[in-house]
Structure formats: structure tokens, C-alpha cells
Homo-oligomer: A and B are copies of this chain.
């Protein structure tokens, strides 16, 4: 018998726990040549703001040991652009489309959330209070309990469907921030966004990124992400979606054992655009090999004795 890969995040039913991380999978069509996005548990689309944004100047990327820094800075067509130009092209996907909602002010988060609330085929949003790449706001909201609580509360008031908050790893205690947003009615948290990092070109004596600092992602951050998922899952009751450096099915299983109900795959999509179906298959193989008939029994299944 095939094992069940289905998990639930609040009201969302995911056919499998593998989703793609915001900013690393475009909107889905970019990967249609490689596999059918409908096979995913969900798609977190690129960070969406109130108005169209050009993002940061080039260069926006630096390769690092087993990772990369990005300073894209939320380039996107704005929420109206998303609704008019992009949504019609992807709403037929048989998967959970989740919009990553970003902003500089609480008002902007509210504006975007309200507009997305009306889209039938978007059952959830992910509040990005952790983007390290825009000067005004973004990460600042995610690095203190009061501000994280404030933006969650404001959005909760206008948004009725599943509300996921994406947490920043650049904090002393991610568990406390998680508790703060849980207290304001968040339905789940995503852990983690990128670690703030920096790259320098020794030869030119200049920063590699136009913004000097940027967000670190990829396998390099996996140990930190895993630790934060574990700490967060032990501190709150709502589900945790784990991400940070997942490249393989084994990585995904580790996050699930640490307490994640589902996972997101980010930077790995750049190395292998067809990695997600491989991860899904690998999880299924793992379950069969270990004689487990339901993935749910692996969640928080870490044996620490």
C-alpha cells in the first residue's frame, strides 16, 4: 500500500508536504517545462507589495560556500499586477497557491492582504515580516515581539483565510516571536527566512551586493534552520512550516522530525529545477523503507533519548 503523504496546515490540505519557497520558484510557469506544479503540496509565490517595485540595483547575488546571498529587494508587479497579470495564468494549478505578502508599513500589509483575500484560488497568505533586503520595514517587523504581533494583529483583522507568518532567523529567540504571532491569531509559521550576511570582493575592495548585505540561503543555513524549527515547534501549538537549505528528501525528513508539518524548498530549485518531484518521491520511498504508512506520524518524531 502506498503511504499517505497528506498533511494539513490549518485549513489547507496539502497532498504532500513539499512546497516551493517564495522568491525561488517565480509563480510556477517558469518551471512547467521541468514538472507539473500541480504535483506540489503548495506554491509560495514571490513577495507581493502594494505597488510595483523595481527592487534593488544590480548586483543582487553572491555565491557563498554552499549557499548564496540575495538582495533582490522584493521586485514585483505589485498586488494589482499580480491579480491582473499573473493570477489568471496560475489559478488553475491543482495545488495551494499562497501569496507571500510583503510591505514597508502596516497599512501596506493590510492593503495587500485585503486584496488577496478576495481571490478564490488563494487559500492562504504568508506574511513576510523577515525580508532582510528592503530598507524600510520588512525584517524590522520580524525582529521584535511587539512589532511582529502588531502586524499580525492588523492583518488578522482583515484576512479570513489561513494566515501564515514567516519568521526572521536574525533574532535572539525565534520561539518568542513565534509565540507573539501565535497569540495574535496566526494559523501557522514559516521558519526560516534568510540569514543576514555579506560578501566582499577582496580584489576590488568592494561589497559584492549593491546593498552591501543580503539574505543567505542554501545548505549552509540548514543546521541553523533545523535548530530554529525545533525550538519553534516546541514553543507553539500551531503548525510550523520548515525551510532553509533543503536539497534532498532526507533534508525534508529531518525538518519534519524536528517538528515541521510541511517544508518549503527554495534555493535548491536553482541547482536542480526538477528537485521537488524528486524530494516528494524520496519521502515516499523513505516511508516505505521504514514501514510508515502516514507521514503525519513523523512530525516531531525526533527521538532525543
Binding site for B on A (CB under 8 A): 62, 64-67, 69, 143-144, 170-172, 195-200, 202, 204-207, 212-213, 216, 218-224, 226-227, 230, 245, 250, 253-254, 257-258, 286, 298, 301-304
Contacts and interface: CB of A to CB of B under 8 A. Distances in A.
A67 B207 CA distance: 23
A227 B198 contact: yes
Given A171-B172, A172-B172, A303-B206, A200 B258 contact: yes
A257 B171 CA distance: 26
A34 to B, nearest CB: 24
B69 A202 contact: no
Contacts of A170: 172
Given A66-B67, A205-B257, 12 more contacts: A65-B66, A65-B218, A66-B219, A171-B171, A172-B172, A197-B223, A197-B226, A199-B254, A200-B226, A216-B223, A220-B221, A220-B223
Main secondary structure of the interface of A (DSSP, over half): mixed
A195 B172 contact: no
A271 to B, nearest CB: 12
11 contacts: A62-B223, A64-B223, A67-B220, A172-B172, A197-B226, A198-B227, A200-B254, A202-B250, A212-B230, A213-B227, A216-B224
Contacts of A202: 250, 253-254, 257, 286
Contacts of A171: 171-172
Given A199-B223, A224-B197, A254-B200, A206 B302 contact: yes
B223 A198 contact: yes
Nearest to A227: B198
Contacts of A200: 226, 254, 257-258, 302
A172 B197 contact: no
A181 B230 CA distance: 31
Contacts of A301: 205
B304 A207 contact: yes
A199 B226 contact: yes
A248 B253 CA distance: 35
Nearest to A248: B202
A272 to B, nearest CB: 15
Contacts of A66: 65-67, 219-220
